[in-house]
Chain A
Amino acid sequence: MADTLQLDLVSPAKLLLSESVGMVVVPGVEGYFGVLPNHMPLVSTLRPGVVTVHDGVTDAARKSFFVDGGFAEVNPESCTLLVDEAVPVEELTADSIAERLAAAEEKRGSAATDEDRSAAEAALAVVAAMAEAMSAAA
């Protein structure tokens, strides 16, 4: 039995992470779930949140990334995360979050159609999750 699984974290712009890990915790749309080797095949959408990479179940998180949504595909040997954007949590700063918050609020204010409005709401949710991730890391 394999005791590690292959984790690939990719965004459209680049391949952020591709390595063997012991466990990874993923923000699924219905809640966080941990993926261990030999997990059953699963496809899930992700919500904005933090992906944490562990060497083993009991080890502390080795790396963590903030992701703003995307998809996860889990196999017994691998876990592929396709995300829109991923930022290492330690690189999140209050300034950049405030900037995004302002942009998202402005967009919501100027939204003309329901579609625009829901897009702006989604952006706001991302910012909120980002702020939470930063305060949790601090």
Chain B
Amino acid sequence: MASLKDLRVRITSVQSTKKITSAMKMVAASKLRRAQDAAEQARPYAQRMEAMLGNLAAGAFGQDGAPPLLVGTGKDDSHLVIVMTANRGLCGGFNSSIIRSARGLIKGLMDQGKSVKIYTVGRKGRDNLKREFEDHMVGHFDEFGRTVSSFSEAEHVATAVKSMFDASEFDVCTMIYAHFVSAMVQNVTCQQIIPFPVPEIEDGEGAGSGGGYEYEPSDTEILADLLPRNLAIQLFRALLENGASEQGARMSAMDSATRNAGDMIDKLKMTYNRTRQAKITTELIEIISGAEAV
């Protein structure tokens, strides 16, 4: 059995672990609030952008000379997968669940005989996927804000992706990120961003979509402006969602770590007290039986 001193040392070390995890939880909680605000503030723009683009796209789709960002290259032989993870660990299953579904997607595409390229955003994704798919990695970006990403960071990724697309290095682009639902729930989401997924045209009010609009200057010019912009916006939204999800995941991971440390301290204290008592009892017995013998 461990000696009293060993137990004391263990209790102190678990106590300091608990202090660290609970501090990390507080930090994550305050960062979460900011990240969540940013993610929620960004949603309306991205949604309205999507709606506007959907309207425009429904009209332009199928016409000759429609921009390739909208209709694709007409093939789907090579895929670009953008994997968004965090830069840092200690956030529960956050990174590993993103990486797991990325790996599933990549393997699935490879099994279909497609060529796959991988662009990683966030250090953890690169480190984990490098072992398996090093030959497929085409780019990496990890200089995003610790709490809240700025739009220029998203633009940086968008420019890189767009120039690869313009050089016809891939036909379809999908990104994987964690959609923020709450601090406890983050859904890993795969979203196709190139070509733009044109929404189903609803009948009834369908006349409004695409048809009735007047364009200034012209629909092709607007589309040419809007599409790269949309790419950056979708990436920006994903970055923010991912940031919020990371902090949420970290907060709940650290919360349960703190609770576990508390439980462990309780158990260790119990053992410590029992051992101490047992020792006293033994000593007393020794003294008494010694006195009786005299």
Point out residues on A near B: beta carbons under 8 Å. 8, 10-15, 18, 28-30, 40-45, 71, 73, 75, 80, 82
Contacts and interface: CB of A to CB of B under 8 A. Distances in A.
Listed residue (A18, A30, A80, A82) with the most chain B CB atoms within 10 angstroms of its CB:
A82
Contacts of B23: none
Interface stretch (B44-52, B73-81, B92-100, B274-282): B44-52
A82 B53 CA distance: 12
Contacts of A73: 48, 52, 55
Given A29-B216, A41-B212, A71-B225, A12 B48 contact: no
A43 B41 contact: no
A71 B219 CA distance: 12
Interface string B196-237: 000000000000100011111101011001100100010010
Contacts of A82: 45, 48-49, 52
Contact of B48 (A14, A29, A40, A80): A80
B151 interface: yes
A7 B218 CA distance: 23
A43 B216 contact: yes
A45 B217 contact: yes
Nearest to A29: B217
For chain B, the bracket of interface size reads 20 to 34
Contact of B214 (A8, A15, A41, A71): A41
B45 A12 contact: yes
A58 to B, nearest CB: 26
B188 interface: no
Given A12-B233, A13-B151, A43 B52 contact: yes
Interface of B: 38, 41-42, 44-46, 48-49, 52, 55-56, 151, 208, 212-217, 219, 221-222, 225-226, 229, 233, 236
A43 B222 contact: yes
Given A12-B46, A44-B216, A80-B52, 4 more contacts: A12-B42, A13-B42, A18-B44, A71-B52
B219 to A, nearest CB: 8
Contacts of A41: 208, 212-214
Nearest to A10: B45
Given A12-B151, A71-B226, A43 B56 contact: yes
10 contacts: A11-B45, A12-B236, A15-B44, A30-B217, A40-B212, A43-B215, A43-B222, A71-B229, A73-B52, A80-B48
Contacts of B44: 8, 10, 15, 18
A10 B52 CA distance: 13
Nearest to A18: B44
Nearest to B211: A41
Listed residue (B44, B219, B226, B233) with the most chain A CB atoms within 10 angstroms of its CB:
B44
Given A45-B221, A71-B225, A10 B48 contact: yes
Nearest to B148: A13
Contacts of B45: 10-12, 15, 82
A13 B214 CA distance: 28
B280 to A, nearest CB: 66
Given A10-B44, A14-B41, A82-B49, A44 B233 contact: no
B222 A15 contact: no
Contacts of B208: 41, 75
A80 B46 CA distance: 12
A11 B45 CA distance: 6
A85 to B, nearest CB: 9
Contact of B216 (A12, A18, A28, A75): A28
A15 B41 contact: yes
B217 A8 contact: no
A45 B225 contact: yes
Contacts of B212: 40-41
Contact of A8 (B48, B215, B216): B48
A80 B44 CA distance: 11
Contacts of A29: 216-217
